[in-house]
Homo-oligomer: A and B are copies of this chain.
Amino acid sequence: MKYNFGAGPCILPQEVFKQAAQAVLEFDHTGLSILEISHRTPEFEAVVAETERLVRTLLNVPEGYSVIFLQGGASLQFSMVPMNLLGDGKKAAYTDTGVWANKAIKEAKLFGEINVLASSKGANYTFIPKDYEIPKDAAYFHCTSNNTIYGTEMHQFPKSPIPVVCDMSSDIFSREVNVADFDLIYAGAQKNMGPAGVTLVIVKDEILGKIDRKIPSMLDYKIHIEGESMYFLFMYRC
């Protein structure tokens, strides 16, 4: 028996590995591997539906929020967030609290003006700045709830007059959060949820569709939501 102390990919329960291995051999009495069945089979749809139900239950996700599963990790969210929420000529507000927050800022700059409200970079990210005001005229405020490398975590979230986007990759499901305080939460699965390869996005529907930019279908939250998160699956399985 070996113990895995890596921050990610995370350790998973043995029972999960046993069920996953069984599903690779034969899934749910279908006579087929889960790797070769269609995403439109009732058995596979049940997996996706149960996963969504678990997310909604565990996080107590309110009405009006969609839960979708995407590829590309939190890193693709660094681009999808501004692509979907930051109109041309608009600005967004970010805090710079670690290497991942900094990458999010770098990627967002391709889409508009990024107002870095506060940064602890000069102190090697040893603390989370709290002394800033979120501007009312920005499209959204982006923060990173936990910074594994530096051992810092946001214990409370600022009141915001604009939509709040939060990268919770490294502390999601480790504590209670009030989802209603956020407009978009994203998290790569590999730290706190499961193996690498899927990204969870929880988004308040009403913040979408408000900018004019034409968005590639695979990078458009609305298209994934309308497809019940199956657009992606459909696209790459069919």
Tell me the A residues contacting B by CB distance below 8 Å.
Answer: 1-2, 4, 6-12, 17-18, 20-22, 24-25, 30-33, 35-39, 71-76, 78-79, 83, 103, 106-107, 110, 188, 190, 194-197, 199, 214-219, 232-233, 235-238
Contacts and interface: CB of A to CB of B under 8 A. Distances in A.
A8 B232 CA distance: 14
Contact of A8 (B25, B217, B237): B237
Given A9-B37, A196-B237, 8 more contacts: A18-B25, A24-B24, A35-B194, A35-B195, A75-B218, A103-B217, A196-B236, A199-B236
A221 to B, nearest CB: 14
Given A79-B218, A107-B216, A196 B33 contact: no
Contacts of A107: 216-217
A108 to B, nearest CB: 10
B17 A236 contact: no
19 contacts: A2-B31, A8-B237, A9-B237, A11-B36, A12-B35, A12-B36, A17-B35, A39-B196, A72-B236, A73-B232, A73-B236, A76-B216, A78-B216, A79-B217, A79-B219, A83-B216, A106-B217, A110-B214, A190-B236
A-B complex: 8 closest residue pairs judged by Cβ atoms: A73-B236, A79-B216, A75-B235, A2-B31, A71-B71, A35-B195, A21-B21, A196-B237
B73 A4 contact: no
A38 B237 contact: no
Contacts of A110: 214-216
Q: Which of A7, A75, A103 has the most CB of B within 10 A?
A: A75
A24 B17 contact: yes
Contact of A38 (B9, B22, B195): B9
A44 to B, nearest CB: 10
A5 B235 CA distance: 19
A31 B36 CA distance: 27
A143 B36 CA distance: 27
